Copies of this chain bind each other. A is one copy, B any other.
């Protein structure tokens, strides 16, 4: 009787520890700037040992992205499937996606740019995982368009929405003045053409007094 939790060949838990450490480091420092030694050290291994679990650094990235996307998709489905009203469902999806993104649960979209380092076949696998993640979104957008709540659900809409959401990783700070709930509400408001209704989001129109409070990059 070994001490593993589940009966699996080498040591499945070490493998997923490596994956989580790799994902975190890739987000923090980028794929190229993260060394396999960094990853090994983060889980208490020696420099050569990650290669016992993964053939290459690229495979670590691929596995981390696909794993993260699938976990995120599952979380999305779980918090969303039971909601019948499309607007309420979209609100929950936006909130869940921002959580995936900004609370460290599924930073995969932040790593999209790093797939440059992968070859075509690996990129295709990742693109398929992204497709699965996006599936429920298009459906909900079309329901909203059919109900007249959303002006258009033509293809660019979903991609522009993801842009709005995913770009938050470039400027949102958890210690800033905006909570995740308020941010989600702002996204919905912009998308549906309404003023945000959550408390505290609004600021007097003249605002400014030192530009904006949020960290200010593009």
Contacts from A to B (Cβ < 8 Å): 29-33, 109, 112-114, 116-117, 127, 130-131, 133-134, 142, 145-146, 151-168, 170-171, 178, 183, 186-187, 189-196, 201-203, 205, 207, 211-214, 216-218
Kindly state the separation between the CA atoms of A151 and B189 in the bound complex, as whole angstroms. 8
Closest to A149 in B: B193
16 A–B contact pairs at CB < 8 A? Answer: A30-B30, A32-B32, A33-B117, A130-B218, A145-B205, A146-B205, A151-B193, A151-B195, A151-B196, A152-B190, A154-B186, A154-B201, A155-B203, A162-B167, A164-B164, A166-B167
Q: Known: A151-B189, A155-B213. Is A33-B194 also a contact (CB below 8 A)?
A: no
| Copies per assembly | 2
Q: Known: A154-B207, A167-B166. Is A29-B116 also a contact (CB below 8 A)?
A: yes
Q: Count chain B CB atoms within 10 A of each CB in A127, A154, A168, A196 and give the residue with the most.
A: A154
Kindly state the separation between the CA atoms of A192 and B194 in the bound complex, as whole angstroms. 10
| CB-based contact B146/A160 at 8 Å | no
A-B residue pairs, 8 tightest by C-beta: A193-B193, A163-B167, A32-B32, A156-B186, A155-B212, A163-B164, A160-B164, A151-B195
Q: Write out the residue numbers on chain B whose beta carbons fall within 8 Å of the beta carbon of A187.
A: 156, 160
Q: Write out the residue numbers on chain B whose beta carbons fall within 8 Å of the beta carbon of A165.
A: 163
Chain B nearest CB: distance from A37 CB in Å? 15
Chain B nearest CB: distance from A28 CB in Å? 8
| CB-based contact A156/B133 at 8 Å | no
Chain B nearest CB: distance from A56 CB in Å? 15
Chain B nearest CB: distance from A216 CB in Å? 6
| CB-based contact B155/A196 at 8 Å | no
Q: Known: A30-B30, A162-B167. Is A153-B205 also a contact (CB below 8 A)?
A: yes
Residue from the list B166, B196, B214 in contact with A163, Cβ < 8 A: B166
| CB-based contact A112/B217 at 8 Å | yes
Closest to A172 in B: B159
Q: Known: A33-B116, A116-B33, A152-B202. Is A127-B217 also a contact (CB below 8 A)?
A: yes
